[in-house]
Amino acid sequence: MLRRVCLAGSVAWAAIIPFAAFVASRPQGPSFGYAFALGAYVIGHVICHQIPARSFQMWGAVLPVCARCTGIYVGAAVVSAAVWARPRAPVDVPLDKVFHHDPASRARRLLAAALAPTAITLIYEWTTGITPANWVRALAGLPLGATVAWLIATLNPSIRVISYPTVRATTVERSQSGGLVLLCLASWVVPGAGHLWLGRRQKGLVFLVALPLMFAIGLALQGRLFPFQLSDLLVCLEAIADVGIGLPYFIASALSLGAGDVRAVTYEYGNAFLVVAGLLNLLVVIDAYDIARGRK
């Protein structure tokens, strides 16, 4: 019961965060609305530093929590919603069978991997004195929230996993809804991680080496990491393709790499390497998903 409350609470809190900002931005709103917003900001003050410069703004109001916390809560809410959205047909699959090894040991490894992006941003900030952009900190927090929510859902005996048609024993046990979300997220953040997770070591190692190397070559060729400009569709699409490479993109952004030099002869070649690396990684995520569902 407590675990169900935690999962439902994560979804509710993720919805409260922007709603509180919306209520606080209204010049003339009902008193109970302001009381609700005040409560959200008080809770946010307890769990977060609430520094405006490190927080997102919506409707002209600062969110109750910082960008990193927002990413963590959104990640947890997405996985929690995915778990609740799936039909919960009872299937007796012990946790040790899902993990194959010691559940506590696997949980610790998953948490360590999920914490890595956030740790990188913190180490970079502490060593350079430069604060990464809010969206970088938010996206770095997504895996952490998603992992915690998935572990809570998996450890809950009242929320059963779904048994898909048996194709490969090594993949069926990982194909519960929350696990698929975490698998795809891990596959995107670290190229090849999804295939390594599913036991496809040869493919996983190839992707782990080749895709970040292609991305690094693009940076070395003076390629540009394009910003998200909704006013220019092509630039926005190129930015989405760049983000497709996952963690290497955020590391490069945090290190102020990828500014690009249009005067360089290799500028367009660099852009091609960066874009193709991101798009290939998105295809790798889809491939990992298909393997987990037993389609390959």
Question: Rounded to whole angstroms, how far apart are CA atoms 157 and 161?
Answer: 9
Measured in Å, how far apart are the chain's first and last C-alpha atoms?
37
Measured distance CA(148)–CA(118) in Å, rounded: 14
What is the predicted pLDDT for the residue at 29?
58
| Neighbouring C-alpha atoms within 13 Å toward the C-beta of 82 | 24
Contacts of 272 (CB under 8 A, 6+ apart): 218, 223
Q: Which of 237, 246, 256, 257 is nearest to 282 (CA)?
A: 246
Contacts with 26 (C-beta within 8 Å, 6 or more apart), sequence order: 33
User: Phi first, then psi: what are they for 61, rounded to 5°?
Assistant: -120, 145
**Nearest-angstrom CA–CA distance, 217 and 240:** 19
CB 117 within 8 A of CB 146: no
- What's the rounded Cα separation, in Å, for the pair 182 and 80? 11
Walk along the chain (296 residues) and give the pLDDT tens digit of each residue. Answer: 666 777 778 888 888 888 888 888 877 656 677 788 888 888 888 888 888 888 888 888 888 889 889 889 888 888 777 766 554 544 444 444 444 445 666 777 777 888 888 888 888 888 888 888 888 888 888 888 888 887 877 764 444 444 445 444 444 444 455 678 888 888 888 888 888 888 888 888 889 888 988 998 998 888 988 887 777 788 888 888 999 998 888 888 877 788 888 888 989 999 999 999 999 999 999 999 888 888 77
Phi and psi (nearest 5°) for 57? -120, 140
- Residue 191 DSSP class: T
pLDDT of amino acid 202? 84
Domain boundaries, the chain: 2-189, 202-292
| CB-CB contact of 191 with 211 (8 Å) | yes
Query: What is the predicted pLDDT for the residue at 94?
Result: 45
- Look at residue 103 in the predicted model and tell me its pLDDT: 61
Report the SS3 class of residue 5. Answer: helix
pLDDT value of position 178? 60
